[in-house]
């Protein structure tokens, strides 16, 4: 299977040997961040630094003034963690090392956007804003995300893109000094706490027959037993029981339809701007009501829109199955495996994990993350990919 490693520009720029090192792992592709959220990242091999702090969500290239002039919502350029055309510089180095480069674009996830423009954020049933989570129902926000996707995805020389967070973001979010784990809300609680009650979503609920004030009150009431840990986690059936089957279904009708339209509009716009053969993948979860970086999607719908999906498989490859059941002849199903031991990955079992993913329909591998992993982790990756390559050449 074709394997690609995730990379940040700061892993490459300033390190003359980075491109050859990454290619030497046995990957054929680098998935390089071109628009990314705030982070604090380790760079264990870089000759100049060990920690990079990206202070806010930013594009890692100079944003086009012609596209963004006069607009209230526009992408933020990076600071000194990725100055100038950091993406372009890193992409050139990776291409010179023989790697195919695809862009990695984070969309509906920006704390700075929410801090500077609070009206763009998801608002929960209690009135609390989530500044990291832009509400994808708002027309201004949707247009910003579509245009950001086009600009950040179709960079010079890129052969494709992977679009992350192209859907609803909700409560779950790794925040600075996070203190939200005191109550295990489970999937039902996460869904209820992720329902948005901004003005646009209130209108949306009304449009499907729900009174938004009554719905917000019902959500707060439904959450009460979860705050007291009186209801075990049971996923969607618990959400239906707590909120009521009809009411829960109507919230899904509004949210699922909103996400689908955004995904359709974004992929269509990227394809219109891209050269022929440009590959468009979405980071996706086959459970439509899930929120986050791997957007919850309907598997059949998203595979009719994009060229394929990148699916989280570190905890096991089971999420591949709904996509494999609806895959077409040329559908890309990329199994995303964490290969950083310190972040819960298991590079030592990469061969086995890749085989299990292939059995469930995976056609490619994504390895998270070439810049963050230790030398020992990457040695295991190199050995595994060498073995997998030999198995392919032997026809086994």
C-beta of residue 198 within 8 angstroms of C-beta of residue 125: no
Q: Which domains does the chain have, with CATH numbers?
A: 2-123+131-179+256-393 (3.20.20.80)
Cα–Cα distance for residue pair 28/131, rounded to 1 Å: 37
Phi and psi torsions of 104, nearest 5°: -125, 115
- Please give, one letter per residue, the 3-state secondary structure of the chain: CEEEEEECHHHHCCCCCHHHHHHCCCCCEEEEEEEECCEEEECCCCCCCCEEEECCCEECCCCCHHHHCCCCCCCCECCCCCCCCHHHHHHHHHHHCCCEEEEEEECCCCHHHHHHCHHHEEECCCCCEEEEEECCCCHHHHHHHHHHHHHHHCCCCCCEEEEECCCCCCCCCCCCCCCCCCCCCHHHHHHHHHCCCCHHHHHHHHHCCCCHHHHHHHHHHHHHHHHCCCCCCCCHHHHHHHHCHHHHHHHHHHHHHHHHHHHHHHHHHHHHHCCCCCEEEEEEECCCCCCCCCEECCHHHHHCCCCEEEEECCCCHHHHHHHHCCCCCCCEEEEEEECCHHHCCCHHHHHHHHHHHHHCCCCEEEEECCCCCCHHHHHHHHHHHHHHHHHHHCCC
Burial of 83 (0-12, 13-18, 19+ CB in 10 A): middle
**Predicted confidence pLDDT, tens digits, the chain (396 residues):** 899 999 999 999 999 999 999 999 999 999 999 999 999 999 999 999 999 999 999 999 999 999 999 999 999 999 999 999 999 999 999 999 999 999 999 999 999 999 999 999 999 999 999 999 999 999 999 999 999 999 999 999 999 999 999 999 999 877 666 666 777 789 999 999 999 999 999 999 999 999 999 999 999 999 999 998 888 778 999 999 999 999 999 999 999 999 999 999 999 999 999 999 999 999 999 999 999 999 999 999 999 999 999 999 999 999 999 999 999 999 999 999 999 999 999 999 999 999 999 999 999 999 999 999 999 999 999 999 998 874 544 544
Cα–Cα distance for residue pair 133/194, rounded to 1 Å: 10
Burial of 344 (0-12, 13-18, 19+ CB in 10 A): exposed
């Amino acid at each position: 299977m074709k394997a690609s490693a995730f990379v940040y520009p700061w892993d490459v720029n300033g390190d003359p040997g980075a491109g050859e090192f990454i290619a030497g792992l046995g990957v054929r592709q680098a998935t390089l961040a071109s628009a990314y959220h705030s982070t604090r990242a380790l760079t264990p091999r870089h000759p100049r630094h060990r920690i990079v702090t990206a202070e806010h969500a930013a594009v890692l290239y100079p944003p086009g003034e012609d596209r963004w002039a006069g607009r209230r919502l526009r992408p933020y350029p990076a600071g000194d963690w990725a100055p100038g055309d950091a993406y372009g510089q890193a992409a050139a180095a990776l291409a010179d090392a023989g790697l195919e480069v695809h862009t990695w674009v984070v969309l509906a996830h920006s704390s700075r956007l929410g801090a500077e423009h609070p009206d763009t954020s998801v608002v929960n049933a209690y009135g609390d804003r989530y500044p990291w989570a832009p509400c994808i129902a708002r027309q201004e926000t949707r247009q910003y995300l579509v245009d950001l996707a086009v600009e950040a995805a179709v960079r010079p020389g890129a052969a494709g893109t992977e679009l992350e967070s192209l859907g609803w973001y909700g409560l779950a979010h790794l925040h600075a000094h996070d203190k939200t784990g005191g109550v295990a809300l489970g999937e039902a609680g996460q869904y209820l706490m992720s329902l948005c009650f901004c003005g646009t979503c209130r209108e949306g609920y009304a449009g499907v027959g729900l009174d938004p004030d009554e719905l917000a009150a019902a959500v707060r009431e439904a959450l009460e037993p979860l705050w007291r840990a009186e209801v075990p986690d049971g996923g969607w059936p618990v959400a239906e029981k707590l909120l009521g089957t009809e009411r829960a279904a109507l919230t899904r009708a509004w949210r699922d339809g909103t996400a689908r339209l955004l995904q359709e509009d974004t992929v269509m716009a990227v394809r219109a701007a891209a050269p022929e053969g440009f590959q468009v993948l979405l980071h996706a979860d086959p459970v439509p009501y899930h929120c986050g970086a791997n957007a919850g999607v309907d598997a059949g719908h998203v595979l009719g829109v994009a060229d394929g999906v990148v699916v989280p498989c570190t905890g096991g490859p089971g999420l591949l199955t709904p996509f494999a059941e609806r895959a077409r002849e040329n559908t890309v199903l990329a199994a995303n495996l964490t290969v950083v031991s310190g972040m819960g990955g298991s590079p030592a079992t990469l061969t086995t994990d890749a085989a299990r993913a292939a059995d469930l329909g995976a056609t490619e591998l994504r390895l998270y993350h070439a810049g963050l992993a230790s030398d020992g982790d990457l040695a295991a990756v190199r050995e595994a990919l060498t073995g997998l390559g030999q198995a392919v050449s032997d026809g086994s």
